[in-house]
Structure 1
């Protein structure tokens, strides 16, 4: 299995690919490009919705609209990306903090984290948003990333990218509480690359897939933390993975090109593009945000 270019979009900072089974479409964001993309693989149709603010992540809602984390806060954009309702402010200093990676849990809550852009104070957090408002689940982070759940929703995975670590929690889907934090995986940087865990997804066998930013590859881990496989990506900075297609057996990978050197972009001209490959084990369907939970 190998990854190839699915959409030669060359985003500045492509992130948060998510498959909408109802629309048979892939959505993803370009954080630095302030855009939400919709891609229909069957027809090749590609639409770009301009955002007024840096958009870090999205989750699906039942009516085809979204919940999203922006620099400014958590919003409800409609199906065309127009922001309708602000649910919560970003409680951190928005000059140096924005919402980053997020995902909807099985009950319909939105888990979303922030990035401490100077990466010098551990000021980022992982939050849960539901009808009770925005609540902190983890603190002392540099870049909250890699949110994913086990197939039964009772295990939460979460990474802190600059520290090269992935954590695992016991998660109560009935209450949205994360406990028993344990180390799941710690990567060791090499002289030739600084591959560190970015966005992630879990497949139907409960294996955790993560993109390695500045590592040029993606990895698949067993639920006990054993590294099972890794696959090279035609970009130095893959950012996140997701499963799509009618059978959820197409793995999609977003990537970044912002801030990369000229030499790197010459070596990896498709940096920022969307990549894909077929896999043997399907992914999990995405949950949809439920404001009543």
Structure 2
């Protein structure tokens, strides 16, 4: 387990491996930063973006697709440190009102971008979050899932025919599975995959490995947990911070996990809150699809 040097995030999120560049990208939401780690050299850098970005995926045309405060953006990150941000789509104001933003998201195996919204003040317990699909051809979809408190945990099975989604709010702590129509990009047959209400931690960001197992960051539990496709917990890794937020497989052999975390800013927080970790958990991941 290795700490990425020189990096501290208030709310590290949405790590993603860019195979073409041999690099990881992730965000620090409140700092409005997009970070990059070059795998070969270990060099890190960041770009300031114009509003909070919470989820990103590499785009086939270059740059990143991002779910931000006011919609879905394309971000072009320039060598001089500047950023070109183009808003591509946004939900109606009635669905993305004041105090809301996009949260967790990633591409399906075909390169469609999925992202959900949330009300940022979690203490308000406002179940107004929705899950959307975005493509260049069809734009932003209607909400496929509604009534979420803190949308999270979006991931897809190796064949792409199962979609996972979590609600990490303390009042929910649920992960659902959906049958996923690969041709149309539509989830259906929603069912409970994991009910974690009685378990330590909350199911935050996640990734799926080559065996189809779901790796979930147990926020507030300080754990990385692997669940089989049948929903059985078969591995658990203790982490040096209480609030892991999301993980991503990468590296040349897709056998390294990058794990982001949240610094709660409380006195006496143990370990390395806000750190970014690299570890080799003995499993291999799957390539992340570029936004098409």
* Residues 228-262 of structure 1 deviation map (CA, whole Å, 9 limit, x = unaligned): 111011111000010011000001100011x3311
TM-score by length of 1: 0.92
Aligned to 1:109: 112
Distance (whole Å) between structure 1 residues aligned to residue 280 and residue 209 of structure 2: 13
Contact 2:47 2:77 in 1 (8 A): no
Aligned to 2:83: 82
Distance (whole Å) between structure 1 residues aligned to residue 30 and residue 37 of structure 2: 19
Shift of 1:48: 0.7
Contact 2:3 2:277 in 1 (8 A): yes
Ranges in structure 1 where 5+ consecutive residues have no aligned partner = none
Distance (whole Å) between structure 2 residues aligned to residue 116 and residue 110 of structure 1: 20
Aligned to 1:202: 208
Task: Indicate which of 107, 123, 132 corresponds to 2:138.
Answer: 132
Residue pairs, 1:179-190, within 5 angstroms: 179-189=188-198
Residue pairs, 1:247-262, within 5 angstroms: 247-257=253-263, 259-262=264-267
Contact 1:72 1:94 in 2 (8 A): no
Range with greater deviation from structure 2 (71-80 or 137-146):
71-80
Task: Indicate which of 239, 247, 251 corresponds to 2:245.
Answer: 239
* Greater relative CO (CA pairs within 8 A, separation 6+): 1
Change (3 A) 1:179 1:20: same
Distance (whole Å) between structure 1 residues aligned to residue 274 and residue 91 of structure 2: 27
Shift of 1:45: 0.8
Task: Indicate which of 123, 129, 143 corresponds to 2:128.
Answer: 123
Q: Which runs of 4+ in 1 moved over 3 A?
A: none
Residue pairs, 1:83-98, within 5 angstroms: 83-91=84-92, 92-98=95-101
Residue pairs, 1:137-216, within 5 angstroms: 137-162=144-169, 163-189=172-198, 195-216=201-222
Q: Does 1:274 align with 2:276?
A: yes
* Residues 100-155 of structure 1 deviation map (CA, whole Å, 9 limit, x = unaligned): 11111122211001112234221001111122222211001001111000000000
Residue pairs, 1:3-82, within 5 angstroms: 3-80=1-78, 82=83
Shift of 1:8: 4.3
Q: Tell me how large the CA RMSD over aligned residues is.
A: 1.5
Contact 1:61 1:288 in 2 (8 A): yes
The size of the alignment, in residue pairs, is 281
Distance (whole Å) between structure 2 residues aligned to residue 101 and residue 249 of structure 1: 23
Ranges in structure 2 where 5+ consecutive residues have no aligned partner = none
Change (3 A) 1:154 1:7: farther
Contact 2:77 2:84 in 1 (8 A): no
Contact 1:10 1:256 in 2 (8 A): no
Task: Indicate which of 283, 287, 290 corresponds to 1:288.
Answer: 290
Contact 1:116 1:141 in 2 (8 A): no
Shift of 1:40: 1.1
